[in-house]
Amino acid sequence: MSLLKRLIYVLALFPVSITGASVNQSGIDGIFNVADKLPKCGRDCFMPSIPLTSCGITNGTCMCLDNTFQALASACLSQKCSPVDILTTLRLEAEGCHREKRSRKWSLLIPLLFEVPAWFFIWIRLYSRWSLLGRWDLDDWLMFPVGAFYTVSTVFSHYGGHMAYGVDMWTLEAYQVTQSSKYFYISDLFYLVALALTKISMLWFYLRIFPSNKHFRFLVHASIAITAIPTTALVFLNIFKCIPVHSVWDGWMNPNSPARCFNSQILKYVSSGLNIVQDLIIFLLPMGSLLRLKMDNRSKWGISLMFGLGILILVTSCVRLKYITSYGTANNASWEYTDTIIWTGLELSVVIIVACLPAIWLLVKRILPSTVSRNRSGYIRQTSGGKQRVDKRRIFFGTKKVENEDNESEVELGLDLGDRRGGRVRTHISTHRRSLDDYPVGNGIRVDTVLTTLVTMSRIDSFDGKGVMG
């Protein structure tokens, strides 16, 4: 719906929404306080409407409260005034009648509770991967553009939101509407790209964690295509949803311009629907593989819970869709779209946080004093000083095959699955440090034993997957 139509709806509702309780009775001159500032079409609509009401010609306060006067003036404005003049007239009328100014701009700060941690999580994740594993894989490299696009989207969204949202539409000036529309045009494009890249990063992470299941790998690659291809089309359609492009933010001022615009409401619905489908895929895809992992139930459910946080992504997407349904139909857009802005910011932030959790959890386990790292050959080793030795090799792309290196799932999730791809099985036998700590120091000799068994087989396909012990 064009801004002109929205303003007409606002005019239609104006007599109902501005009851006597919203008018400051100290404004005894009412609309006459601002009569000389009104656009010509505004004066031409207000003055002829006065004799048709019960108000006297000099009773400005009565006009501020009289529904008949408001209805007549609104109908006239919608026919004779341009959108800019309508907006100016409504703003001046509210000023002259001392109408209460509502504001919920404070609520636009709510997403920052997630946006600030999400922004830091991106860089902490990259630090964790580099410091602990000595390399970045494709899913890590994708987080660099995610960080850049996320920053731009968040900054423009907050700037545009605080410029023209969280208040009633009739309190705005024309330049605020235009500039805010431009900022959200930019923010939406970067939001789409950042959201898609984050989801692709999560899917690529699945490939590293579960590399040997061909059926699973096919599903992941198909999911990447389901994410990348529609997003590319949506970005293109959003860029050129109006021809010429500048009509996206300034076309509202001239409803008779030759600009051609695509229905933005359809784009919003399609984008939200695809997001929910993609969120379902990302949430459900790894669950079967996680539940089949050979580990104790406590570890299994702990890891499943970490991946299961993806349900938060689905929840935020569904709540956002609830508010998206009002897009294009709101009568007081600058007030009613505030919730859409809030949940859009929350959705992208939650996706980023969930995508970074595994790498950050690994870093947390290293930093916490109570954490005891396994004795690894290659990457992480517990030393007497409590610090960890990291292999000095630096591999910028983890897709490079390196002999005798640990499986990704061992390092990322703290598992001990062995190297099944190379036909080698590592048996790791160790005591539980906590159980030994229960004995007094003076009760005999304390020994930590590590037995490593290397089995080399001539045929990889003969491996039955039962050689993992622990």
Q: Where are the domains of the chain?
A: 3-96, 105-367, 418-462
Q: What span, in angstroms and rounded, lies between the C-alpha atoms of 364 and 368?
A: 6
Residues whose CB falls within 8 Å of the CB of residue 203, separated by 6 or more in sequence, listed in order:
220, 223, 224, 227, 282, 285
Q: What span, in angstroms and rounded, lies between the C-alpha atoms of 7 and 265?
A: 18
Q: At 456, which helix (H) or strand (E)?
A: strand 451-456
CB 277 within 8 A of CB 229: no
Backbone angles phi, psi at 293, to 5 degrees: -65, 140
* pLDDT tens, position by position, 67-85: 888 888 888 888 888 888 8
- Mean pLDDT computed over 389-398: 44
* pLDDT tens, position by position, 22-68: 555 444 455 667 777 888 888 888 888 777 777 776 677 777 788 88
Backbone angles phi, psi at 35, to 5 degrees: -60, -40
Q: What span, in angstroms and rounded, lies between the C-alpha atoms of 405 and 371?
A: 23
Say what the pLDDT of residue 434 is.
Answer: 47
Q: What span, in angstroms and rounded, lies between the C-alpha atoms of 252 and 266?
A: 19
Q: Count other C-beta atoms under 10 Å from residue 340's C-beta.
A: 21
3-state DSSP assignment of residue 399: coil
Nearest to 316 by CA among 281, 342, 355: 342
Contacts of 311-315 spanning 24+ positions with Cβ under 8 A: 311/283, 312/350, 312/354, 313/279, 313/282, 313/283, 313/347, 313/350, 313/351, 313/354, 314/276, 314/279, 314/280, 314/283
Say what the pLDDT of residue 1 is.
Answer: 44
**Tokens encoding 261:** 């615009």
3-state DSSP assignment of residue 62: helix
Which one is predicted more confidently, 407 or 299? 299
Say what the pLDDT of residue 440 is.
Answer: 53
CATH topology of domain 105-367: Rhopdopsin 7-helix transmembrane proteins (1.20.1070)
Burial 178-207 (b: 16+ CB within 10 A, else e): bbbbbbbbbbbbbbbbbbbbbbbbbbbbbb
Average pLDDT, the chain: 75
Say what the pLDDT of residue 310 is.
Answer: 75
Q: What span, in angstroms and rounded, lies between the C-alpha atoms of 56 and 58?
A: 5
- Mean pLDDT computed over 127-132: 87
Say what the pLDDT of residue 163 is.
Answer: 93
Axis-axis angle for helices 138-164, 112-133 (nearest 10): 160
Determine which of 119-128, 173-182, 292-301 has the lowest per-residue pLDDT on average. Answer: 292-301
CB 201 within 8 A of CB 143: yes
**Tokens encoding 303:** 């890891």
CB 460 within 8 A of CB 423: yes
Give the pLDDT band of residue 300 (cuts 50, 70, 90): low
pLDDT at 138 over 80: yes
Q: Count other C-beta atoms under 10 Å from residue 44's C-beta.
A: 15
3-state DSSP assignment of residue 260: strand
Say what the pLDDT of residue 75 is.
Answer: 85
Find tokens 């159980």 and name the residue. 435
Q: What span, in angstroms and rounded, lies between the C-alpha atoms of 31 and 60?
A: 5
Q: At 31, which helix (H) or strand (E)?
A: none
Say what the pLDDT of residue 226 is.
Answer: 94
**Tokens encoding 257:** 């311009």
Q: What span, in angstroms and rounded, lies between the C-alpha atoms of 234 and 192?
A: 8
Strands 242-243, 260-261: parallel, antiparallel or unpaired by DSSP?
antiparallel
Q: What span, in angstroms and rounded, lies between the C-alpha atoms of 148 and 256?
A: 38
Where does 285-402 have alpha helices with state H?
A: 287-291, 297-308, 310-324, 333-336, 338-367
3-state DSSP assignment of residue 432: coil
Q: What span, in angstroms and rounded, lies between the C-alpha atoms of 159 and 185?
A: 12
- Mean pLDDT computed over 454-459: 42
- Mean pLDDT computed over 212-239: 92
pLDDT at 304 over 70: no
